[in-house]
Structure formats: structure tokens, C-alpha cells
């Protein structure tokens, strides 16, 4: 009983610390504490937001259909969800391809058999979907033809009719012109009016025809949902078939173990042949063996060149934002402390802060990119890069100049909030605390580390929280521009890709970026709360 109560208090404490206060009423309700009040709170802080989300989804769903874009209508929630599934499936398949490449022995045989079975199934599906697409298209075509036929007929009739009429008018007018008497202004004017009338009439007839034509075209353009659905299924099946054949390849001929085996076999054959050769032929064979051995050693340590998946990009973006954030913090906190401690230093820094603060990431990035690429002209042979690539954990993210430039841009754009808050926090230290420090005759460093920094920490962390939020926003743009592998690049690739589901995938990124930003913010809130003490200055 006591333990249960303890659990309740720890739960409530964790909830309070993490700022997820909307969960508190649920915990309290579970313990039967004032059910009426808790239910009311749940209604206000959980049900109302859920209703809000539902309303948003509903509005999105009904309006998206009427927003025409370059690549079809705006994706609705369902299509966006499908886009997410497509991204996720692709990531999963890339992972499986990598395993396939590295698999050996029985496991490989098993997987190969499975893949082949599945491919057989999928091939049937492909054929079925192809047929379905053709059928759907035919059905729609027939329907369209039926709809168009009367209009088309009308159009053709009118066209020939108008053509004949125009021709007749022209012939009459030409003959009329023969009887004109030179110098008779009135007669000439009357004739001109007739011609003008005829020209206007012809234009009117043309207009009528083009309206009719547009009507026909519009019917042709109507996209049938059945066809779209069939096409989607076809794409699904075709993609899976393509993936499976690729996987089978990676499990058989292109599998690392298989390739190594083949190469080893070849070398031993060469060796046998070599022993019976003389002259130039012997030299050539020996050379071939040496080359084959070199290839073999490379092959043994090779890994599957996996294209970046969305989850890798997400991880790399988070890594990049923290790199930039740490660089920014390392600059902002010391300078902020100096600014807060010394008004002369503050006066010296103010112009720089005022001028650099409003500069957009779009300006910093190219500058950073040029400087970093200048410092690291050949990343593949740069000792620093090679060192970073060999490090555990962060090695897999392949830090390159684009990554560094993005991180530096994040740092340059995000450090201002931390700087300003640190300076404010240091400058607004309780005067009593400083008096205590004076009475105790604390030295500069004792004063700095025992009094100044601890009392400024809550404000510093408030600044860090803003900085991380700004940094995350800036990073996506920086990655997009610098083509640094990450979420920003994913968006850019989708923008350039122009596939039917590209827009849906970009909408997925909106939510992905938002959710990650929210989590980062929450983490910073927890830190901020941990360093905040009673009576500290807060924002």
C-alpha cells in the first residue's frame, strides 16, 4: 500500500519534471483521487486537443482534394500516411538488401528460397495488376468515348459548317470588290464595314469552336479513381518485384561470400595454369593472379553501398544539429558570461551582436561552405576526415564539408539566444549573493563557478532551449541547400524527383520535423527544470 503511494508520487514527479502535465490527471484518476476534477481535467487537456486534431484532419481531408498542384491534388491524410509507409518500406528494404549482401551459408540459402518464392507470387501480382490497369483504362476510355462522341460529332459538324460559311462570305466579298468605283468614299466605307463584319464573325465562330474543344479536353483529362487505384497497386507490385530480384541477386551472384568464393576458385585455376606456362604467357598469368588477389582482398572487406534511408537521414540530422548546437554553446556561453560580468566588454560586443544576429542562414551557409571546402579540399584524403570516419558511433555518419558547413550555420544562427540569455542571467545575479561573495573574499574563479554560473544556469538553459529550436529549423534549410545527407536533403530529393507520391512524402517530413523538434524541446525543458531552483529568475 505504501509502495503504491510512493509509486504515485514518483510518477507525478516524473510527469512534472518532464512537463507532460496532461498525464497527471490520469495517474490521479487511477488512484481514485477526486474523480470528478480529474475527469474534467482529462476532458480539457486530452479530449479537447484530440478533438482539435480530428477537426484538423477532417478539414485537411475535405479541402485537399480541391487544391490543384503541379503534381496532382494536395495529398490528403490517407495519402500522406501511405507516403509514410512507402518511405518506411523503402528504408526497411535497403536494410534487408544490406543483410542479404553479407549473409552466408544456410541462412543465405533459406533467404534466397524465400525471396524466390515471394518473387514468383509477386510476378503473378504484377501480371494481375497490369491487366487490371489495362482493363480499368479501357473501361474508362470507353466511358470517355461515349461521353465525348456527341460533343465530338457536334464539333466536327460545326467546324465544317463554319468553314463553308467563311468561304462563302469571302467569295461574296471578293466579287463585291470588283464593282467598287474609285474615289467614291461612301461606297468604300460601306465595303470596308462589310469586310470587318465578316472578320468579326469568323473570330466568333472560332471562339465557339475552341470552347467546345475545351469541353471535350476536360472530359478526357478527368482522372478516374479506379485507374489511379489500379496504377498505385501496379506500382506497389512492380516495386516489390524489382526489389526482390535485386535481393535475389544480392543473395546469389552478387553476394559477398559467393563473389569471394568465385574469385578464390579463379585464382587457384590461374595458379595451376601458371605452373605450366613459359615466356610472356607466364608473365601475363602471374600479373593476372596478382590483380585477382588484390581484388579479392578488397572484396573481403567491402560492404554494401547502401543509399541513405530516411532513418539514417533523421539520425544524421539530429547529430548535425547537436554538433552545431555544441559549437554555438561553446562560443555563446563564455562570451555571454564575459558580457554579463563586464559592461565594457558588452559595449565592445554589442555592434557585432546587433549586426550578425539578424543574418539569415541562407547567407551564412554558402560562406561557411566555401570556407570549409577551402580548408578541406579533398575530404577522401584529409587526415581529419579519415580520423572522423574511423571513430566508433559517429564514423557511420561520414562527416564531410557539407555537414560541417551545415553545423556551423546552425551554430551561427542559434548562438544569439544563448548569448543574450547568458549575459542577462549573469548580469542579473542577486546583489545579496555578490555581497556574500565579497565578504567571503572569493577569488574570480570561485566567484564564477560557485556563484555566477550556478545562479545564471536557469536563464542559460532557457537560452539553450531557444537556440536548439532555432538550430533545428535552420538545419533543415541548410541541409537542403548544401546537400548534406539529412532530412533537408530528403525534401530536396523529393522535390526534384517529381514522382506521384513525392508531395505526400514531403508532407510526411513536415510531421517528422515537427515531432523531432517537439521532442528536442521537451528534452531541453527537462534540463531547464533540473537546474532551476526556487526563486531563480525565469522567463
Partner 1 sequence: MSTNSKFVEISNLIKEYPNPYGDPFRVVEDFNLNIKEGEFISLIGHSGCGKSTVLTMLAGLNEISGGGIIVGDREIDGPGPDRSVVFQAPCLMPWMTAYQNVMLGVKNVYPHVDKATQKQIVEHALSVVGLADAMKKYPKELSGGMQQRVGIARAIALQPKVLLLDEPFGRLDSLTRMELQDVIIDILEREKLTAMIVTHDVDEAVFMADRCVMMSNGPRAGLGEILEIDFPRPRNREEIFSDPKFFSYREHLLAFLEQRSHIKGDTRVFSAGETLGFLNKEEIEEIQHQSEAVVA
> Which residues bind to partner 1, rule: CB under 8 A?
430, 432-433, 435-436, 438-443, 446, 450-451, 454-455, 457, 533-536
Cβ at position 2, least distance to partner 1 in Å:
22
Residue in the block written with cell 528534452: 523
CB of 330 to partner 1, least distance (A): 23
Cα–Cα distance for residue pair 232/438, rounded to 1 Å? 75
From the CB of 28, what's the least distance to partner 1, in Å? 24
Beta bridge partners of 69: 72
**DSSP, res 223:** P
Q: Which residues, listed in sequence order, are joined to residue 72 by a DSSP beta bridge?
A: 69
Q: How far is the CB of 535 from partner 1 (least distance, A)?
A: 6
| 519 or 539: CB nearest partner 1 | 539
Minimal distance in Å, beta carbon 340 to partner 1? 18
**Which C-beta is closer to partner 1: that of 378 or that of 534?**
534
Tell me the C-alpha to C-alpha distance, in Å, between residue 182 and each of 178, 179, 189, 455: 11, 10, 12, 106
Compute CA distances 59 → 51, 56, 81, 378, whole Å. Answer: 12, 5, 16, 51
Secondary-structure percent of the chain, ordered helix, strand, coil, rounded to 5 = 85, 0, 15
Closest separation between CB of residue 534 and partner 1, Å? 5
Cβ burial of 456 (10 Å; 0-12, 13-18, 19+) is: buried
Q: How far is the CB of 337 from partner 1 (least distance, A)?
A: 17
Residue that has been written with the C-alpha cell 546469389 in this structure? 252
Compute the least distance from the CB of residue 438 to partner 1, in Å. Answer: 4
Neighbours of 179 (CB within 10 A): 8
Q: Which is nearer to partner 1, 351 or 535 (CB)?
A: 535
Cβ-contact 41, 25 below 8 angstroms: yes
Give Cα separations from 86 to 60, 345, 416 (angstroms).
Answer: 21, 55, 39
> Helices 225-251 and 105-178: crossing angle, nearest 10°?
140
Of 285 and 433, the one with the shorter C-beta distance to partner 1 is 433
Q: How far is the CB of 434 from partner 1 (least distance, A)?
A: 9
Report the residue number, 218 or 441, with the smaller CB distance to partner 1: 441
Nearer to partner 1, 130 or 536 (CB): 536
CB nearer partner 1, residue 331 or residue 442: 442
Distance CA 490, CA 486 (A): 6
Q: Nearest 10 degrees: CA dihedral of 265, 268, 274, 275?
A: -150
> All 3 cell numbers of residue 435?
555581497
| Chain position carrying cell 495529398 | 75
Name which of 180 and 446 has its Cβ closer to partner 1: 446
Pick from 87, 206, 180, 5: nearest CA to 491: 87
Min CB(452)–partner 1 separation in Å: 11
Q: How far is the CB of 15 from partner 1 (least distance, A)?
A: 20
Closest C-alpha among 524, 506, 537, 520 to residue 84: 506
CB of 493 to partner 1, least distance (A): 48
DSSP string, 34-91: SHHHHHHHHIIIIIHHHHHHHHHHHHHHHHHTT-EETTEEPP-HHHHHHHHHHHHHHH
Specify whether the CB–CB gap between 96 and 247 falls below 8 A.
yes
Of 202 and 532, nearer to partner 1 (C-beta) is 532
Nearer to partner 1, 279 or 445 (CB): 445
Residue 293 · residue 308 · CB < 8 Å: no
Q: At which residue does the C-alpha cell 514527479 appear? A: 13
Q: What letter would DSSP give residue 429?
A: -
Amino acid at each position: 500500500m505504501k509502495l503504491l503511494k510512493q509509486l504515485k508520487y514518483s510518477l507525478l514527479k516524473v510527469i512534472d519534471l518532464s512537463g507532460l502535465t496532461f498525464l497527471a490527471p490520469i495517474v490521479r484518476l487511477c488512484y481514485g483521487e477526486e474523480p470528478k476534477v480529474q475527469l474534467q481535467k482529462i476532458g480539457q487537456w486530452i479530449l479537447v486537443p484530440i478533438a482539435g486534431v480530428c477537426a484538423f484532419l477532417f478539414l485537411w481531408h475535405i479541402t485537399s482534394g480541391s487544391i490543384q498542384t503541379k503534381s496532382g491534388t494536395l495529398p490528403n491524410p490517407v495519402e500522406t500516411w501511405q507516403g509514410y509507409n512507402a518511405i518506411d518500406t523503402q528504408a526497411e528494404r535497403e536494410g534487408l538488401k544490406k543483410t542479404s549482401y553479407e549473409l552466408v551459408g544456410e541462412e543465405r540459402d533459406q533467404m534466397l528460397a524465400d525471396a524466390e518464392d515471394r518473387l514468383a507470387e509477386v510476378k503473378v501480382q504484377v501480371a494481375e495488376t497490369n491487366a487490371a490497369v489495362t482493363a480499368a483504362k479501357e473501361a474508362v476510355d470507353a466511358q470517355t468515348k461515349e461521353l465525348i462522341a456527341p460533343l465530338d460529332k457536334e464539333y466536327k459538324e460545326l467546324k465544317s459548317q463554319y468553314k463553308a460559311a467563311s468561304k462563302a462570305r469571302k467569295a461574296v466579298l471578293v466579287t463585291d470588290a470588283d464593282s467598287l468605283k474609285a474615289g467614291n468614299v461612301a461606297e468604300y466605307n460601306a465595303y470596308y464595314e462589310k469586310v470587318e463584319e465578316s472578320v468579326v464573325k469568323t473570330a466568333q465562330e472560332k471562339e465557339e469552336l475552341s470552347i467546345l474543344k475545351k469541353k471535350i479536353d476536360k472530359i478526357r483529362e478527368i482522372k478516374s479513381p479506379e485507374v489511379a487505384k489500379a496504377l498505385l497497386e501496379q506500382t506497389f507490385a512492380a516495386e516489390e518485384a524489382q526489389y526482390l530480384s535485386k535481393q535475389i541477386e544480392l543473395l546469389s551472384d552478387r553476394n559477398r561470400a559467393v563473389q569471394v568464393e568465385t574469385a578464390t576458385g579463379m585464382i587457384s585455376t590461374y595458379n595451376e595454369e601458371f605452373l605450366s606456362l613459359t615466356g610472356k604467357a607466364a608473365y601475363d598469368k602471374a600479373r593476372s593472379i596478382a590483380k585477382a588477389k588484390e581484388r579479392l582482398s578488397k572484396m573481403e572487406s567491402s560492404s554494401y553501398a547502401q543509399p541513405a534511408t530516411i532513418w539514417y537521414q533523421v539520425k544524421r540530422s539530429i547529430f548535425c544539429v547537436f554538433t552545431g548546437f555544441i559549437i554555438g554553446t561553446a562560443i555563446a556561453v563564455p562570451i555571454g558570461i564575459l558580457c554579463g560580468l563586464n559592461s565594457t566588454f558588452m559595449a565592445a560586443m554589442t555592434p557585432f551582436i546587433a549586426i550578425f544576429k539578424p543574418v539569415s542562414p541562407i547567407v551564412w551557409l554558402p560562406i561557411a561552405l566555401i570556407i570549409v571546402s577551402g580548408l578541406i579540399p579533398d575530404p577522401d584524403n584529409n587526415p581529419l576526415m579519415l580520423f572522423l570516419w574511423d571513430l566508433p558511433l559517429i564514423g557511420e555518419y561520414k562527416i564531410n564539408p557539407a555537414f560541417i558547413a551545415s553545423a556551423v550555420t546552425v551554430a551561427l544562427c542559434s548562438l544569439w539566444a544563448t548569448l543574450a540569455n547568458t549575459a542577462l542571467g549573469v548580469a542579473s545575479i542577486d546583489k545579496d549573493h555578490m555581497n556574500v561573495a565579497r565578504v567571503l573574499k572569493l577569488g574570480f574563479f570561485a566567484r564564477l563557478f560557485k556563484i555566477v554560473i550556478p545562479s545564471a544556469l536557469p536563464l542559460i538553459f532557457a537560452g539553450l532551449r531557444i537556440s536548439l529550436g532555432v538550430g533545428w529549423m535552420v538545419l533543415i534549410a541548410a541541409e537542403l541547400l548544401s546537400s548534406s545527407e539529412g532530412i533537408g536533403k530528403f525534401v530536396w530529393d523529393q522535390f526534384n524527383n517529381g514522382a506521384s507520391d513525392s508531395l505526400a512524402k514531403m508532407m510526411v517530413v513536415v510531421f517528422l520535423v515537427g515531432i523531432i523538434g517537439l521532442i528536442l524541446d521537451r528534452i531541453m525543458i527537462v534540463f531547464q527544470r533540473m537546474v532551476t531552483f526556487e526563486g531563480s529568475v525565469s522567463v
